[in-house]
Amino acid sequence: LGLQRAAPPNLTANVLVQKLASFGELTADDEAAWAQAAADTRRLGSKQMIVAEGDAPGCAHAIVEGFACRYKLLPDGGRQILDFLVPGDLCDGHALFLAEMDHNIATLSECLVAFIPHKTLLSLTEAHPRIARALWWSSLVQESIAREWIANVGRRSADQRIAHLLSELCFRLHLVGLAHHGQYHLPIRQMDLADATGLSVVHTNRVLKKLRQAGLLDLKQNLLTVPNIQRLEEFCGFDRAYLHPHRRAHPLTGMPTHVVQ
Amino acid sequence: LGLQRAAPPNLTANVLVQKLASFGELTADDEAAWAQAAADTRRLGSKQMIVAEGDAPGCAHAIVEGFACRYKLLPDGGRQILDFLVPGDLCDGHALFLAEMDHNIATLSECLVAFIPHKTLLSLTEAHPRIARALWWSSLVQESIAREWIANVGRRSADQRIAHLLSELCFRLHLVGLAHHGQYHLPIRQMDLADATGLSVVHTNRVLKKLRQAGLLDLKQNLLTVPNIQRLEEFCGFDRAYLHPHRRAHPLTGMPTHVVQ
DNA sequence: CGTTTGATTGACACGAGTCAACACCAGTGG
DNA sequence: CCACTGGTGTTGACTCGTGTCAATCAAACG
């Protein structure tokens, strides 16, 4: 598949830069510095641990290619996925300050992962205030996503849960240019969808069938097709506001103004 | 009730200081500055809005007395509570940087709320790096709590959900000295518990009855009694790690070392 | 007092979980 | 080359946890 080909070296950092820039305007100098910081990349196989609960890693990780997720394991063996990590996402920016990780991060497909030493991250934020602000903004969006997930799992019907989750992913993939005419390369199993929405695999399967028959989406063999994204979003009440896509100037902190899309 | 009496003026800021200090060691000077910043307090009735979705408030809010919550309203009228706010909690620290609120914050009981102008908050963090770090830490704990709630609502049984939620509250109330021999003043209705755990009110009621009969806890008339907190925590698999109570020195950022409890 | 809000309980319906069987595919090894 | 395997998707039958509806009760309140 064309989607799976490795990006040329000088394009490797492109997704990371594109994503960070979506959180705040950067100068060419900022972008170069960010790309440089993430130069150390490694390829990981599917279902490999990136950071484990209890770890206090010495470097941050960002996804360049492939899909990963955060998750917790419960005493009874259950798994709850807390977020999907798509290309461009910084996995563990907060671990820079917290003593130890309180959840796991693992790949869902083969991934290209950038390793950014905490030392580099710190000096970067000191020398590049715009990068610092973009990272700060990004961490706030992370928090906001987590809150929306609570509402998703807590109060939406099974159909809407799945639809909402996929709507969010579509939007986030759009941000980094990974959408092609309503088609998204989505290397996640139904079991992953189930663990992200708090449903069983069997019921997830049935819901997907129902959504397919309703013509809202089609997910098969790692390819998600959404004929009409607006219809899907209406169906599940998706409102992109929580992803804080358009940034307006703040009277005090002077965050840059810019509208995505 | 003795618990409901208004604190003397010079004690008003005590809870806020105590809470902030639980996130990082502060000097006497820091504490005085923080208390001063939160000097403007107002008393709000039950079920009053503090900040609404879509707002871009000019000041931050902190709870001094009483209970509040964050929540989202869904298109179908459902409400999902995203977090409870107890005395000492900063409600909307993140709003300092984000363009607008993506959820509501309202009181659950009569509350004493401190209003901290964003301008003050900004200058405070510039002049007092320890306060800045404590606030930063606090925002990370907020994020961590949100993630735990996803797992709670997504993968735990109804009994464990309620038990876990109440275990968390017990711990957080402990932090600010609001626990008295396994008894906690908890002015929240069963409907609030239901909206926080993704259950119906009726079923919440039944679960509470079951927990009461199992001798795990007793919640009636705003008073939560937990005979044996350890037993409750074991029942629901509560692990305080996600609240990041003990802070160890970080090799790079030099966060202070200190163990709560 | 009547009114309102919240707690409690029962009867019933339904969404979602569980168990089990089978299909399908890729990889692997005899 | 073809069985054999493990992982994943699909479907049916059945069970069970929760939701819904409705009635009653208790406490708070104007």
Nucleotide nearest to A204 (CA to C1'): C16
Which amino acid would we find at residue A109?
S
Inspect the interface and report whether the beta carbons of A98 and B146 lie closer than 8 Å: no
Q: How far is A124 from chain B (nearest CA, A)?
A: 14
What pLDDT is recorded for position A136?
Answer: 87
With a cut of 60, say whether residue A4 has pLDDT above it: no
With an 8 Å Cβ cutoff, is B151 touching chain A? yes
Among A5-19, A42-56, A93-107, B158-172, the minimum mean pLDDT is found in A5-19
Closest CA to A163 of A152, A175, A178: A152
**B 66-85 residues with CB < 8 A to A:** 70, 72, 74-76, 78-80, 82
Q: How far is A111 from chain B (nearest CA, A)?
A: 24
SS3 category, A130? helix
Residues A55-83 have a mean pLDDT of: 96
Strands lying side by side in the sheet with A218-220: A179-180, A183-185, A223-225, A218-220
Residue A215 tokens, joined: 């013509």
With a cut of 80, say whether residue B259 has pLDDT above it: no
Q: Which residues of A157-191 are buried (b: 16+ CB within 10 A; e: fewer)?
A: ebbbbbbbbbbbbbbbbebbebbeeeebbbbbebe
Nucleotide nearest to A78 (CA to C1'): C17
- A237-CA/C3-C1' distance, Å: 38
Residues B21-38: pLDDT tens digits?
Answer: 999 889 999 999 999 999
| Residues 6+ positions from A9 with CB-CB distance below 8 Å | none
Average pLDDT of the residues of chain A: 90
Residue A249 tokens, joined: 């100037």
Contact B248, B232 (CB under 8 A): no
Residues A101-139: pLDDT tens digits?
Answer: 999 999 999 999 999 999 999 999 999 999 988 998 899
Contact A195, A71 (CB under 8 A): yes
In order of A4, A236, B72, B121, B196, the CA distances from B54 in angstroms are: 40, 20, 12, 21, 21
Gyration radius from chain A CA atoms = 18
- B199-CA/D19-C1' distance, Å: 9
Answer yes or no: is A79 CB < 7 A from strand C. Answer: no
Answer yes or no: is A199 CB < 7 A from strand C. Answer: yes
With a cut of 90, say whether residue A98 has pLDDT above it: no
Inspect the interface and report whether the beta carbons of A253 and B148 lie closer than 8 Å: no
Residues B190-196 have a mean pLDDT of: 98
For A114, list phi and psi in degrees, rounded to 5: -90, 135
Contacts of strand D, CB cut-off 7 Å? A 189-191, 201-202, 205-206, 208-209, 220; B 157-159, 198-200, 202-203, 221
**B 118-137 residues with CB < 8 A to A:** 118-119, 122, 133, 136-137
- A192-CA/D12-C1' distance, Å: 23
Strands lying side by side in the sheet with A41-44: A41-44, A111-117, A59-65
The rounded percent of chain B whose pLDDT value lies above 90 is 80
With a cut of 90, say whether residue A212 has pLDDT above it: yes
Closest CA to A200 of A69, A79, A74, A71: A79
Nearest to A248 among B79, B80, B99 (CB): B99
The highest-confidence range among A179-183, B104-108, B249-253, by mean pLDDT, is B104-108
Across chain A, where does the E strand assignment appear? 41-44, 49-51, 59-65, 68-73, 79-85, 104-107, 111-117, 179-180, 183-185, 218-220, 223-225
* DSSP letter for each residue of B161-209: HHHHHHHHHHHHHHHTT-EETTEEE----HHHHHHHHT--HHHHHHHHH
What pLDDT is recorded for position A145?
Answer: 98
Residues B99-117 have a mean pLDDT of: 95
With a cut of 90, say whether residue B94 has pLDDT above it: no
Answer yes or no: is A198 CB < 7 A from strand C. Answer: yes
With a cut of 60, say whether residue B11 has pLDDT above it: no
Interface test with B, best of A23, A53, A73, A102 (most B CBs within 10 A): A102
Residues A21-45 have a mean pLDDT of: 94
Residues A138-173: pLDDT tens digits?
Answer: 999 999 999 999 999 999 999 999 999 999 999 999
- A216-CA/D4-C1' distance, Å: 39
Cross-strand partners of A179: A184
Question: What span, in angstroms and rounded, lies between the C-alpha atoms of B239 and B233?
Answer: 8
**Set of chain A residues whose Cβ sits within 8 Å of the Cβ of B153:** 150, 153-154, 198
The rounded percent of chain B whose pLDDT value lies above 70 is 89
SS3 category, B112? strand
What pLDDT is recorded for position B45?
Answer: 95
